[in-house]
A and B are shown apart, each in its own frame.
Chain A
Amino acid sequence: MAAPPATDRPSDAELVARWAGEPAPLLPLLHAFHERDGVLTDDAIRRVAAALRIPLAELYGTVTFYHFFEREQPGRARPRVCDGPVCRRRGSAELLAALGHHGAEPMPCAGRCDEPIPVLVGDQQLVGARDGELRDLPTPLPPKLSDDRLPGWRECVFRHIRTEGRAALAGYRATGGYAALFRAIAMAPAEIVDVIAQSGLAGRGGAGFPTGVKWRLVAEAEGGPKSIVCNADEGEPGCFKDRALMDHDPHAVLEGMAIAGRATGAARGIIYLRYEYPHTLRVLEKAIREAERDGLLGERILGSEFSFRIHVRRGAGAYICGEETSLLESLEGRRPWPRNKPPYPVTHGFEGLPTVVNNVETLASVPPILLEGADWYRGLGLGDHAGTKVVSVSGDVQRPGNYEVPIGLPLRTLLQDCAGGALPGRRIVAVTQAGLSGGFLAGADLDVTLDEPALRAKGSFLGAAGLIVFDDSRDMVAVAADGIEFFAHESCGKCFPCRIGTTRLTERLTGSDGPLDLDEWRSEVEDICATMKATSACGLGLAAPLIVESLLRSFPDDVRAHVEGPAIET
């Protein structure tokens, strides 16, 4: 009998064998079938359910939670066009229409707001113009600031990122890379934790929890194996800093994770990377291979007793997976609803065991801090504030991009001296904070410093530090409507106030439903916002109302015109 024809197409059994025994196997196994077939077929879902012993109804439900698992043709080949808040104002609707004959669909903010509109075609990361022309363009490097413009500032995570070849292991080591890991291996774990605690480093993904405290809790927690999870699910609209860090300085993230592992006694690292960054996936996988080859990751690193392996897991399109407990649920193969807290991941994290969940920027800050010392890092901030923050600036400014600035910097300095100020003939009227989650600041509130206490006093917060700038040509009601529509789209559906509230607010801001009387309209909107802020189960529902509240606070005349204006023609 003739042998079956040789084929590159892996069999079901081969895919299952590749992944079933790995940590956090569900997403990679689904991706493997998705990539092989272009869609997730019923048969594939049945095969995965059987292999991982997940009830079929549960797995099917979980698959439908994510954006990017295609069930119908053209499947993964379907172009996905970013229609985030910045791209909408750059012509994403026209680009979508131009690609319509390829079955193009919109995707939420794809984290490239400093550039033309990002488009995903399979695993190709492209950028497009209004007319439908697509190009391949590397992730922009952070703009270099001239020293005379910004006296006395020093960078932490960006200090070597612009050096040619930094993304490769040789280039990374040539600029001091992995020296911090050598040092960490020579130090007692508790000493490492002390340095990080004294540096004042706090969660740069937005929550701002002191990193040293988190590491200490995990180091002291009972049970194991422990894990270091890097949250690279950069889903907040207007935030694109982690992409730049990983694309141009991937080893800094790996080194930071290994040091965290050494400090806490964890031997396993997982990077949870958002689906929209396939190029970054390749960069990270290459960096891991390089580091393993040179004995910087893997068993008995540099001949010591310390072992540490890093796995990359790719998300499948869900903003909520940036919430750390949703992320953990996603890794564990369940529907990624946020968990009830306490307990927190430091004691009950990945697979119910002690886990550090840190943002990309937080982890990339660790090697320089360990080399230069806690005082050095503390001193990078202004006034009493410790350290730096990478801020993604996009929208109506001359020089959008990622800027690493001292915490406590006046917002106006960032907008003017770094980002170049308003476009010619225009005036900046509003700036969002924390991407969309912090709502926007306008008017006199723009005279604020970029630090949590100052921003919280204005009813906002710094969060992951995405600033989207809007000038006087923009319809701020439409901006707020786009914002709340995004949150409605991304609400996980678990808690009532967020699930229903985001939809009701969207209807009221787009004008598709809601009272026509201004007082009634405001009464409903204010009630919904207040209840969401008080009772929502996770950060999404707690923060989503801020963009609506800031609209009511800063643009009352626009709101009046919106509610009392001419009815929408149908």
Chain B
Amino acid sequence: MTIDGQKVDFAPGETIYEVARRLDRDVPTLCYDPRLEPFGACRLCVVEIEGQARPVASCTTKATAGMVVRTVTDALEAHRRTLLELVISENRDSGDAFGAGTPAHVDPLRGASSQELSTLAARYRVRPGRHAGAHSGHSRRDDDNPFILRDYDLCISCYRCVRVCDEREGDHAIHVGGRGFESRILTEFEGHLADSSCTFCGQCVQTCPTGALADKKALRAVDLPGELTKTRTICPYCGVGCSVDIVTKGDRMVAVQPAFDGPANEGALCVKGQFAWDHVQHDERLRTPLVRGADGVQRPATWDEALDRAADGFRRAAAEHGAKAVYAIASGRAPHESAYTIQKFIRAGFGTNYIDNCSRA
């Protein structure tokens, strides 16, 4: 087949969009998530095929031999701009968030994909106020769950949230209700997420291209000064080995985002990896070692004092009851470096394999 004048081979079943992407063609989309079944809703990825009267959605059209495709023409670009202007026009906050067609004020803390719409709006120089009219989404501020903000005023009905919940998570917690302009994301009987089969994995948040679904915990840091930095690591909670980006602002950890290129998880995470990290910076976390006195009360101590005391205890236990009397369980909340160290300590120090990790459960 030919794409934009370039001859290219394709695998059976490959879509035009997938082939174009392999060629680094930057075909815009909003409803596409490579992990999900092609859906064909946003129509931004339309391309022209020689001999066909109308453009086709490249995400849902399979490549065929001899096909001659154009991904960029004046007509296509004009349709894309109109589509983006229509989408922007349905957001209640469009006047502020997308003012003057400049990058939006959708805070990137909201989620990993939250900048997709504002990025495209800037790229296509959408004209503010064009196609103005009724707003389509209605935020569920009444849903007071601690993790997921349901800010549907920013929703553009791409249904990536519904599809990731169905196709990847298998939770089926949310679906689409109503129809047409009144289509809305809902749980059964329009209740709260906590009363549904939602597991708060946050996958809907991380695939949302507008920030309509947002990470409530991350948004606590919205007023914190400093740039966002992402540091790639592996989630320590279990043995799957999900790649995550720890998001920091200055010296504060502010969010966890799944890595879409993580080989083990391809952007997936569970509620623990996604949201359970408050212990890292918790006020009640110990800041010094504690040593128990003869009166049974724990008192702050120096590291030397505490390590000597621990070493004494381990030695005594091993001497009186044998090396197998010592058994270590590392915490899933501790970093991998600590987990490594404790197993080394047991294996080298006591010569046993009496070591485990709570994440193995």
Report which A residues bind B (CB closer than 8 A).
42, 45, 55-62, 64-65, 318, 320, 335, 340, 342, 488-497, 499-504, 507, 513-514, 524, 527-528, 530-531, 533-537, 542
Interface assignment of B144: CB less than 8 Å from any CB of chain A? no
For chain B, residues 25 to 44, give those with C-beta under 8 angstroms from any C-beta of chain A: 30, 38-44
Q: Is the CB of B87 within 8 A of A534?
A: no
Checking A58, A318, A340, A531 against B38 with a beta-carbon cut-off of 8 angstroms, the contacting residue is: A340
B141-161 at interface with A (beta carbon < 8 Å): 156-157
A535 and B46 in contact (CB under 8 A), knowing A61-B176, A491-B181, A493-B157? Answer: yes
Max count, chain A CB within 10 A of own CB: residue among B136, B181, B190 = B181
Asked if residues B179 and A504 are in contact (CB atoms below 8 Å), the reply is no
Which B residue sits closest to A533, measured CB to CB? B54
- Say whether, besides A65-B179, A340-B60, A496-B41, A57 and B54 are in contact (CB < 8 Å): no
Q: Are B188 and A527 in contact (CB under 8 A)?
A: no
Contact B86 A65 (CB under 8 A): no
Q: B190 to chain A: which residues have CB within 8 Å?
A: 60
For B75, give the chain A residue with the smallest CB separation.
Answer: A534
Contact residues of A: prevailing secondary structure: helix
CA–CA, A56 and B62, complex, Å:
33
26 sampled A-B residue pairs with Cβ under 8 A: A42-B189, A45-B189, A57-B186, A58-B175, A60-B189, A61-B175, A488-B180, A490-B179, A490-B180, A491-B180, A493-B157, A493-B178, A493-B180, A493-B182, A494-B40, A496-B83, A496-B87, A502-B181, A504-B131, A507-B133, A513-B132, A513-B134, A533-B54, A534-B54, A534-B79, A536-B43
Check if A57 sits within 8 Å of B172, measured CB to CB. Answer: yes
Cross-chain contact of B43 among A64, A335, A495, A503 (Cβ < 8 A): A495
Cα separation A497 to B85 with both chains bound (whole Å): 11
Among B55, B90, B166, B196, contact of A500 (Cβ-Cβ < 8 Å): B90
CB distance B157 to A499 under 8 Å?
Answer: yes
Q: How far is the CB of B291 from chain A (nearest CB, A)?
A: 53
Chain B residues with Cβ below 8 Å from A55 are 166, 172, 175, 197
A537 touches B41 (CB 8 A): yes
| A504 pairs with B89, CB closer than 8 A | yes
* Chain A proximity of B163: nearest CB distance (Å): 12
Say how far B87's CB is from chain A's closest CB, in angstroms.
6
B242 at the interface (CB under 8 A from A): no
Bound-state CA distance A494–B172 (Å) is 19
Q: Given A65-B178, A503-B134, list of 20 further CB < 8 A pairs?
A: A42-B189, A57-B175, A61-B175, A64-B177, A340-B39, A489-B180, A490-B179, A492-B180, A493-B180, A493-B181, A494-B40, A496-B83, A504-B131, A513-B133, A524-B131, A527-B78, A535-B55, A535-B79, A537-B43, A537-B57
Asked if A60 meets B179 with Cβ closer than 8 Å, knowing A496-B42, A496-B83, A513-B134, the reply is no
**B16 part of interface (Cβ distance < 8 Å):** no
Instruction: Kindly state the separation between the CA atoms of A165 and B200 in the bound complex, as whole angstroms.
Output: 63
**B90 to A60, Cβ gap below 8 A?**
no
Q: How far is the CA of A488 from the CA of B44 in the complex (A)?
A: 21
Bound together, the chains give a CA A504 to CA B46 distance in angstroms of: 21
Given the complex, which residues of B lie within 8 Å of A491, measured CB to CB?
179-181
Quick check: is B174 within 8 A (CB to CB) of the other chain? yes
Q: Contact: B46 with A493, CB < 8 Å?
A: no
Chain B residue at minimum C-beta to C-beta distance from A62: B175
Interface members, chain B 1-58 (any A CB < 8 Å): 30, 38-44, 46, 54-55, 57
B188 with A57: CB separation less than 8 A? yes
Complex contacts, A56 vs chain B, CB 8 Å:
172, 188, 197
Contact A60 B180 (CB under 8 A): no
Given contacts A513-B132, A534-B55, are A492 and B41 in contact (CB under 8 A)?
no
Q: Is B247 at the interface (CB under 8 A from chain A)?
A: no
Contacts of A542 in B (CB 8 A): 54
- When A and B form their complex, which 3 residue pairs have the shortest distance between CB atoms, in order from nearest? A55-B172, A493-B183, A61-B175
Question: Are B134 and A501 closer than 8 Å at their CB atoms?
Answer: no
Bound CA–CA A60/B178 (angstroms): 10
Whether B130 is near chain A, meaning CB under 8 Å from some CB there, is yes
Q: Which residues of B contact A493 (CB under 8 A)?
A: 157, 176, 178-183
CB proximity to A under 8 Å, residues B180-229: 180-183, 186-190, 196-197
In this complex, the member of B60, B130, B166, B176 whose beta carbon has the largest number of chain A beta carbons within 10 angstroms is B176
Given A524-B130, A531-B79, A537-B43, verify A492-B179 contact (CB < 8 Å).
Answer: yes
Chain B residues near A524 (CB-CB < 8 A):
130-131
Complex contacts, B41 vs chain A, CB 8 Å: 494-496, 537
Q: Which of B87, B133, B176 contacts A514 (CB 8 A)?
A: B133
Q: Are B181 and A499 in contact (CB under 8 A)?
A: yes
Q: Which residues of B contact A504 (CB under 8 A)?
A: 86, 89, 131, 133
| B79-97 interface with A by 8 A CB criterion | 79, 82-83, 86-87, 89-90
How many Å lie between the Cα of A132 and that of B309 in the bound state?
A: 93
Q: Which residues of B contact A513 (CB under 8 A)?
A: 132-134
